[in-house]
């Protein structure tokens, strides 16, 4: 099949777009509100976009708390959402008021970051401490203002659970990251294959 993506005339029951761009890593973004309260939310429009220096991005559909806090405080942290933490990750996607500590709400433990103020998720084996760089606002369908913004930040510190490091390499099968597919579906990385480049 082919469909016009601007008209979004796929004719299916649900928009297949996100199922087609999958798996997507999940950035579990912690920030501090101006009131000092911890905000935590998952973003699957998330990725690493460069290595020298290291930058990551997440895309917010509407100016949600994570975007606002990152812009206002200049800092955010991305913890890795793993299979063991899937329930807690899902709980942090609830819409709650800015006075609610979402890390606490999900039964998680804050661990202090080293270079930025927002805490990381202690139970998560990997976290990136980030300095906010800039936001790119995407246009709407008619080239007017849109709803989505890409928030970019430079990774300034990385935490890795030593238990996931063996022979100088990170063993991703020990981390078991989860990834977002389409609909309400997820995948977990528990198997890896290797291809060397020609």
Ligand X SMILES: Cc1cc2nc3c(=O)[nH]c(=O)nc-3n(C[C@H](O)[C@H](O)[C@H](O)COP(=O)(O)O)c2cc1C
- In the complex, the residues that contact ligand X under the rule CB under 6 A are 26, 39, 41-45, 59-61, 64-66, 90, 93, 95, 180
Cα atoms found within 13 Å of the Cα of residue 56, Cβ hemisphere only: 27
9 or 94: CB nearest ligand X: 94
Q: Residue 131 pairs with which residues in a beta bridge?
A: 75, 154
Least Å distance, CB 95 to ligand X, is 5
150 or 172: CB nearest ligand X: 150
100 or 164: CB nearest ligand X: 100
Token pair in block for residue 111: 């661990």
Least Å distance, CB 193 to ligand X, is 25
Least Å distance, CB 198 to ligand X, is 35
Q: What are phi and psi of 145, to 5 degrees?
A: -60, 135
Listing DSSP states for 111-142 in one string gives E--SSSSSPEETTSSEEEEEEEEEEEEEE-TT
Least Å distance, CB 4 to ligand X, is 24
Query: Which residue from 153, 137, 182 is spatially nearest to 30, judged by alpha carbons?
Result: 153
95 or 169: CB nearest ligand X: 95
């Amino acid at each position: 099949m082919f469909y016009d993506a601007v008209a979004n005339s796929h004719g299916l029951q649900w928009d297949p777009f996100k199922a087609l761009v999958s798996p997507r890593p999940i950035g579990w973004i912690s920030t501090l509100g101006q009131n000092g309260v911890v905000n935590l939310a998952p973003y699957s429009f998330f990725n690493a976009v460069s290595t020298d220096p290291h930058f990551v991005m997440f895309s917010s559909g509407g100016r949600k708390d994570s975007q606002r806090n990152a812009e206002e405080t200049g800092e955010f942290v991305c913890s890795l959402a793993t299979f063991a933490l899937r329930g807690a990750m899902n709980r942090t996607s609830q819409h709650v008021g800015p006075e609610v500590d979402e890390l606490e709400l999900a039964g998680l433990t804050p661990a202090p970051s080293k270079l930025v103020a927002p805490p990381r998720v202690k139970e998560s084996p990997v976290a990136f401490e980030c300095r906010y760089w800039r936001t790119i606002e995407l246009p709407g369908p008619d080239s007017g203002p849109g709803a989505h913004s890409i928030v970019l930040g430079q990774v300034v510190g990385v935490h890795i659970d030593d238990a996931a490091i063996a022979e100088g390499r990170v063993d991703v099968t020990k981390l078991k990251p989860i990834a977002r597919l389409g609909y309400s579906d997820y995948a977990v990385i528990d198997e890896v294959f290797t291809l060397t480049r020609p």
